[in-house]
A = this chain, B = another copy of it.
Amino acid sequence: MTCQSNKDLQNIIDEVRPLTEAGVVADYIPALAKATKNDLAVAIYEANNNCLYAGSYLKNFTLQSILKVLVLALALQDRGVEYVFERVGMEPTGDPFNSISKLETSIPSKPLNPMINAGALAVTNMIRGESDAEKWNRIISFVKCLSNKKNLSYDAEVATSELKTAWLNRSLCYFMKQHNVIDGDIEDLMMVYTKQCAIEMNCFELARIGAVFALNGLDPETGERLIPIHIARICKTFMVTCGMYNASGEFAIKVGIPAKSGVAGGILAVVPEKFGIGIFGPSLDKKGNSIAGIKLLEILAQQYDFSIF
């Protein structure tokens, strides 16, 4: 299947692209800093397998935090709802995604939700597997199914670079290890975590993942169930309450659909029953979301009445 270029979408892209000037590309590792600031692309994958796009929709980018919602879907299948939420909370937080203070002040100490770094690290720690290799294979296989990208892989330069500098994530891990939220070797966990964050695809493939959630877990092409319905629903709920870092509340007000962003500029968005949306725009606003991507979704939501509220 290939996507159709769409003039309406292209008009919106043209309208919001100037916003990219006001943002900044992530530069905490060199590999991300190389991104082209003005890049902007969108793909819409409809439930009936039509696809529309505008911009450089075949350009690859690393998913980063978007993986948090996919790994959550897998961990919930691996361990069950009860096990997962005994170790990670369900509540949104007004704190930044990488904050450690709440881990200290919460009693018992557990990450507030699976969309902040601490929570995602704890969730990745729950993926089943005898070895790190097996855990990693299960993650990449699951994402392969969702995206239908046969040659799905990760950007080794990004993963290596993150692994070398992710001191704050290690700090979160050791804090949680102290409080028995996670177990096992931290460096092994960091290896899996940084590799999963570096999984790369284009926004058409990301839109297809959105379509799976839009269909509550069904493969849009085969109709096969890829995610149990109750788990798909939980994932969409977290995308609404905590998907866009500590701008989630504002995004819910202004756009009103489940979405998850990543620091490389990707956004996975879901219009329930209708379609998945994949966006790539590496210029970020102060909260860490694609600055033009958010505006693009805001315009789409208003024009086509996407809001679930």
Chain A contact patch, size range: 35 or more
Select from chain B the residue with minimum beta-carbon distance to A287. B91
How far apart are A172's CB and chain B's nearest CB, in angstroms?
7
Residues from chain B with a CB closer than 8 A to the CB of A14 are none
Check A58 for interface membership: any CB of B closer than 8 A: no
Q: What are the 4 closest A-B residue pairs judged by CB atoms, nearest first? A: A92-B92, A171-B174, A167-B178, A91-B249
Check A48 for interface membership: any CB of B closer than 8 A: no
Q: Is the CB of B101 within 8 A of A249?
A: no
A240-B240, A240-B252, A242-B249 known; 11 other A-B pairs, CB under 8 Å? A89-B249, A90-B250, A93-B93, A100-B171, A168-B175, A171-B172, A233-B309, A241-B252, A258-B309, A272-B309, A308-B309
Q: Is the CB of B94 within 8 A of A104?
A: no
Contacts known (A100-B101, A256-B233, A308-B308); A249 close to B174, Cβ less than 8 A: no
User: Residues on A close to B: CB < 8 A?
Assistant: 89-95, 99-106, 112-113, 167-168, 170-175, 177-178, 233-234, 236-238, 240-242, 246-250, 252-253, 256, 258, 272, 307-309
How far apart are A35's CB and chain B's nearest CB, in angstroms?
22
Expressed in whole angstroms, the Cα–Cα distance for A139 and B272 within the complex equals 36
Q: Is the CB of A92 within 8 A of B248?
A: yes
Q: Is the CB of A90 within 8 A of B309?
A: no
Q: Is the CB of B168 within 8 A of A174?
A: yes
Expressed in whole angstroms, the Cα–Cα distance for A170 and B101 within the complex equals 16
Partner of A93, one of B94, B106, B307: B94
Q: Is the CB of A241 within 8 A of B233?
A: no
Expressed in whole angstroms, the Cα–Cα distance for A168 and B176 within the complex equals 9
Q: Is the CB of A174 within 8 A of B178?
A: no
Please indicate which of the listed interface residues A95, A105, A307, A309 has the most CB atoms of chain B within 10 Å of its own CB: A309
Q: Is the CB of B168 within 8 A of A178?
A: yes
Expressed in whole angstroms, the Cα–Cα distance for A173 and B168 within the complex equals 10
